[in-house]
């Protein structure tokens, strides 16, 4: 059965050479809450001159109507494998052959599993099995479904089969959880479609296993590089207490000004969320951030470094302490009670600074009540591994996560991170270079590592 439509609404074609003009896109709409974004996606594709035909799964029609889709494509919506009219013409073959690109958005966990395993029990899965046309997926699902080993295996199979992907991103889900699994935004999908048609590439699907080949270590440092393990495995922190710091601190100069840094808190919050998902009791001590509280996490909000230290000490004892916050190293000796004014002829104010307490060193150096595992972070602008190795030894932590925030880096405040892990050994620290990943994926892998270390496994 196909839903009919009248003439499609007029769509103005945007100028620009992005390779979509005149191209034929077959859009498969899966059955997820993100299906409503398919309507905007159709508009965006047609604005760029692409023609769009649509296939809807039975579940998709619970979220968006075939009539709405048909009114935007100007074409019938196809939703039945056993339509006598269409199958007399081998409809599922014709649909795939007539397209330059097959775009699946949203690609649900169920659809991904069907494609990966070669199932063909409805129109969408059958035409995907019967095609040699380039396929681009925009995954969308609950973060627990996205991180489930079965979904990760299916994602790896799809990547090996040459299926392209865009996303998913991280954010607050419809269920209220925070993490990876949100469908990419329509404009991101359009850009990925243009790339796929131009050169057969899209945004790589996050991999569940750590990179088998560590990237070259450009800095000279007294460290021995090793490859990360082939898979993070299922992490469990059940019965563990975890304290995480996140975000920046604000050190007041006067009532309206303060010393701070560019930290968004996204990595620290993602670690807290991943630890809670792994079964831990989590306390998140957060500086000022514009992020929702991770689900299932006790959040303590602070402003200054001294506030953060007090909150951390109050949250101890713990099995694991993760110092992911970007704590200000200095604070003004005295904050002005009133706003400091500019006055013509007056001398420029001089800011006298005092050193802030070192939270990581204070926790790692505790004689009593030291967490079994203390993890630090190092954000460096140069000589990353040299500085990180020195910090690992100086702070007496067990593991250090280092990232490069030098000129041109978008790590601070961005959605992705590229980290090096430094682990204490009897000799030089062991170093692992991880690929650039979504911060939620970095958090998932870090939590798997923490769980293994607490269970007595290899660091």
- Binding residue numbers for CTP: 329, 339, 357-360, 377, 391, 395
Annotated binding-site residues read 329, 339, 357-360, 377, 391, 395
Phi, psi angles (nearest 5°) of residue 78: -100, 130
Evaluated on CA atoms 199, 201, 202, 203, the torsion sign reads negative
User: Contact, 1 vs 83, CB < 8 A?
Assistant: yes
* CA atoms of 39 and 189, how far apart (whole Å): 13
Report how far apart, in Å, the C-alpha atoms of 347 and of each of 28, 343, 344 are. Answer: 67, 8, 9
Evaluated on CA atoms 99, 101, 102, 104, the torsion sign reads negative
- Chain-centroid distance of CA 13 in Å reads 32
* CA atoms of 49 and 52, how far apart (whole Å): 10
* 397 is known as an active-site residue: no
What number of other Cβ atoms are within 10 A of residue 9's Cβ? 10
User: Contact, 149 vs 234, CB < 8 A?
Assistant: yes
Catalytic residue among 150, 175, 224, 393: 175
Evaluated on CA atoms 449, 454, 457, 459, the torsion sign reads positive
Token pair listed for 212: 């088998």
What number of other Cβ atoms are within 10 A of residue 346's Cβ? 8
Phi, psi angles (nearest 5°) of residue 25: -110, 130
Catalytic residues: 175
């Amino acid at each position: 059965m196909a839903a009919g439509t009248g003439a499609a609404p007029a769509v103005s074609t945007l100028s620009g050479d992005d390779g979509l003009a005149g191209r034929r896109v077959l859009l498969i709409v899966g059955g997820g809450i993100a299906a409503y974004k398919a309507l905007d996606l159709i508009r965006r594709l047609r604005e760029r001159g692409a023609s769009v035909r649509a296939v809807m799964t039975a579940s998709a029609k619970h979220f968006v109507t075939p009539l709405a889709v048909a009114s935007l494509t100007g074409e019938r919506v196809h939703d039945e494998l056993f339509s006598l009219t269409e199958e007399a013409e081998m409809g599922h073959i014709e649909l795939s052959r007539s397209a330059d690109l097959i775009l699946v958005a949203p690609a649900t966990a169920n659809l991904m599993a069907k494609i990966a395993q070669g199932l063909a029990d409805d129109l969408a899965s059958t035409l995907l099995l019967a095609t040699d046309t380039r396929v681009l997926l925009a995954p969308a699902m609950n973060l627990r479904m996205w991180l489930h080993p079965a979904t990760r295996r299916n994602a790896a199979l799809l990547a090996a089969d040459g299926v392209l992907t865009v996303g998913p991103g991280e954010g607050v889900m419809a269920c209220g959880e925070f993490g990876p699994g949100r469908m990419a935004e329509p404009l991101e999908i359009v850009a990925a479609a243009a790339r796929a048609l131009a050169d057969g590439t899209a945004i790589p699907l996050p991999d569940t296993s750590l990179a088998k080949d560590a990237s070259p270590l450009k800095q000279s440092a007294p460290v021995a590089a090793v490859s990360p393990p082939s898979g993070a495995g299922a992490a469990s922190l059940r019965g563990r207490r975890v304290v995480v710091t996140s975000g920046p601190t604000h050190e007041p100069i006067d009532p309206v000004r303060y010393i701070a840094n560019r930290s968004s808190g996204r990595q620290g919050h993602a670690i807290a969320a991943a630890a809670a998902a792994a079964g831990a009791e989590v306390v998140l001590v957060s500086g000022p951030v514009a992020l929702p509280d991770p689900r299932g996490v006790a959040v303590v909000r602070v402003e200054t470094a001294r506030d953060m230290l007090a909150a951390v000490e109050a949250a101890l004892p713990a099995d694991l302490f993760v110092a992911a916050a970007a704590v200000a190293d200095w604070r003004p000796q005295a904050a002005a009670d009133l706003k400091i004014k500019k006055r013509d002829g007056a001398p420029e104010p001089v800011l006298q600074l005092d050193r802030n307490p070192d939270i990581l060193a204070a926790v790692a150096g505790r004689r009593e009540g030291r967490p079994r595992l203390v993890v630090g972070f190092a954000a460096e602008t140069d000589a990353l591994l040299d500085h990180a190795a020195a910090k690992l030894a100086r702070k007496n932590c067990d593991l250090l996560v280092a990232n490069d925030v030098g000129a041109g880096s978008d790590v601070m405040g961005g959605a992705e991170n590229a980290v090096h892990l430094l682990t204490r050994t009897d000799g030089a620290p062991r170093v692992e270079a991880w690929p650039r990943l979504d911060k939620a994926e970095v958090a998932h892998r870090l939590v798997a590592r923490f769980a293994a270390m607490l269970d007595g496994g290899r660091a």
